Structure 1
Amino acid sequence: MKTEYKCLECALSGYTRLVEKQDIPKEKKDDLVRWFFSYMSGIDLSTPAPFIARDMHAYLRKELNCNDLYAEDKLNDNNKIMNMLPEFKEAVKNAIHPEIAALKLAIAGNIIDLGTNHGMDHSQVISQAIARDLAVDDSARLLTAIKNASNFIYLCDNAGEIVFDRLFLDTISELGILDKSNVVLAVRGAPIINDVTLEDAEYVGLTRDYHVISNGDHAPGTCLKFTSDEFNDAFAKADFVISKGQGNFESLFSKKDKQIFFMLIAKCSLVADQIGVDVGDMICKLNDTDAEIN
């Protein structure tokens, strides 16, 4: 997706919110904000928003001498969802279709996104997830693709959310839909907002049961011109892709030569309009692809 002026408004809000949190002199904060406007004046609006966020946060990390500006937030979100995991497991177990219940929770977990200004209540969205309908529902095709696949890649998104990803994968594995050896999970190559890194994947136990790789890049999306050779090789060889979250959707939306299932909550009007849903809707959507569908 191309960057629209509303994306710049969201970027400014997130950037200034992060700057304001820093314990630094006002003069330094002013300099950081001046840089933002100077940088934005020269951006290419045909570039997806995650590419722009990549540059913004790289600059902040360098200027603030801090590798992970959201480390505490990520730890808190991972701990919060892991502490609640027994009740979510019970809800999935008691559902008429446990695989769909777990899939809905994995999508609802995408609300834990510190890079957007959606204003939705995390707890409410997650607690209501199993009872809600998907606004776009390609879940049957997704589960069939997983069952038939010899190799696919799962693009993780945010801390906290990743605990629900594990619940979804564990559930469909227990039901005989997924062979764990057939999936590669990919995370960010370095900290960016509250996106998942290898450290987060290890912390929530994903690396014990699944093959997890870094994508080699720090954009809050999947920018294939920046990702590593290892990731690009896994992406190219995959029968299909599961893409979690809005940033991955924005950066992979136009890719038509690969079967991609997008799992996300639409958290802004631009993404919602692109998909044809309302803000806040839960989505499991197969992309418009030229690739063969299993």
Structure 2
Amino acid sequence: MHFLCLARCQLGFLLRQFELFGLSAEQQNDILRKEVALVSGQSIDIHAGISGSRMFRLLCEALGDPDPLKGARESQNAQMLELLPAVREAVRAGENPLHCALKAAASGNIVDVSFADDFDVAGALEKSMAAPFAIDDFGLFTRRLAAARTLTLAADNAGEIVLDRLLLEEIQRWRRQKGLPGVRATVLVKGGPIYNDALRQDALTAGLDREADILDTGSDTIGIHAACLSESALENLLAADMIISKGLANYESDFGSEAFPEKIFYLFRSKCEVLSGQLGIPLGSGVLMAHHREQGGRNALH
């Protein structure tokens, strides 16, 4: 795990929660002492997602609440649902609606409590819809999509999951326009509260059950790790003809890519300085990247 994952993401998240929940100095010191003890006992090679998951559980224990960010997720879903009609209109007015839907879904990745608590979602959407992807494998994406019969979208955060619904709508419209049958879609959400990652209820609130089957990972771990998946989630990912992996944590965890790299596409905003540097792209860029053409930037973050 890169030290910035700890210093900026994990500890930064903790400090923001201290303020959000109005914790006393004594409570803050107690949590920080436990976090230091937790980190000191970890291997330097631990995955950032595993480490961050342990830290979040520590916070939940201190707060006496297994889901302290439930209200934040609900607010983020409501905010994005309010924006959805305007975003849908902008996407369908674009020269290439599917490409626009991918950019919108990537821009929704700004809703991430690991990096901030307040989000200018409307502003981010407007900017990212006008900007090109820093890495854009749209041609590879559409070739794979045309051949796929089943597709799994590994979701990331609440709020942005509303734009994943729009993406799935446009995927089905694109296939119909090509004279292809609809693809069988599954949305994979977390099996338990972790940060503001989307859960089954968030997917239902977003209306994703109209576009896909909803399946959870069977765990409350950040990212997608084979050892943390339920049997049904693992079977779904192995059987899918195509996987859209949303967000930085899913990109970093890199589930199964060495076994079937041609079917995985990453869709995210590069919010991390380390990752942006490894990929050679500006911080905050949108990315649509096929795994088998990626340049190895993931290794610096494990």
The residue that corresponds to 2:175 in the other structure is: 176
| Cα displacement (A) at 1:119 | 9.1
Residues in 2 aligned to 1:179 and 1:44: alpha-carbon distance in whole angstroms: 48
Normalising to structure 2: TM-score of the pair? 0.89
Aligned residues: 288
- 2:189 is aligned, of 187, 190, 197, to 187
Contact 2:247-2:266 within 8 A present in 1 as well: yes
2:86 corresponds in structure 1 to 87
The Cα shift of 1:62 comes to 2.4
**Equivalent in the alignment of 1:273:** 277
| Alignment check: 8 A CA contact 1:258 1:289 kept | no
TM-score normalised over the length of structure 1: 0.91
> Deviations 1:191-242 (Å, cap 9, x if unpaired)?
1111100010011111233101000111221122111111111111122321
**Alignment partner of 1:5 is 2:3:** yes
Give the SS at the match of 2:245.
Answer: strand
1:114 aligns with 2:113: yes
Q: CA deviation at 1:142?
A: 1.1
Q: 1:163 to 1:155 in 2, by over 3 A?
A: same
Superposed CA deviations along residues 151-200 of structure 1, whole A, max 9, x for unmatched, are: 22110001111111101111221232585552211001111111100010
Asked whether 1:229 is paired with 2:231, we answer yes
The residue identity in structure 2 corresponding to 1:216 is G
CA shift in 2, pair 1:151/1:266, >3 Å:
same
How many angstroms does 1:267 deviate by? Answer: 0.3
Question: 1:48 and 1:275 mapped to 2: Cα distance?
Answer: 19
Task: Point out the more displaced range, 248-257 or 66-75.
Answer: 248-257
Q: Tell me which moved more, 171-180 or 108-117.
A: 171-180
Residue aligned with 1:207, SS: helix
**Aligned-CA RMSD value:** 2.1
Is residue 61 of structure 2 the alignment partner of residue 57 of structure 1?
no
Counterpart amino acid of residue 90 in structure 2: A
Letter matched to residue 220 of structure 1: I
Contact 2:135-2:287 within 8 A present in 1 as well: yes
**Native 8 Å contact 1:51 1:223 kept in 2:** no
Gaps of 5+ in 2: 295-302
Q: Percent identity?
A: 28
> Contact 1:19 / 1:32 at 8 angstroms: preserved in 2?
no
Closer, same or farther in 2 for the Cα pair 1:74/1:155, shift >3 Å?
same
SS in 2 for 1:128: helix
Answer 1 or 2: which has greater helix percent: 2
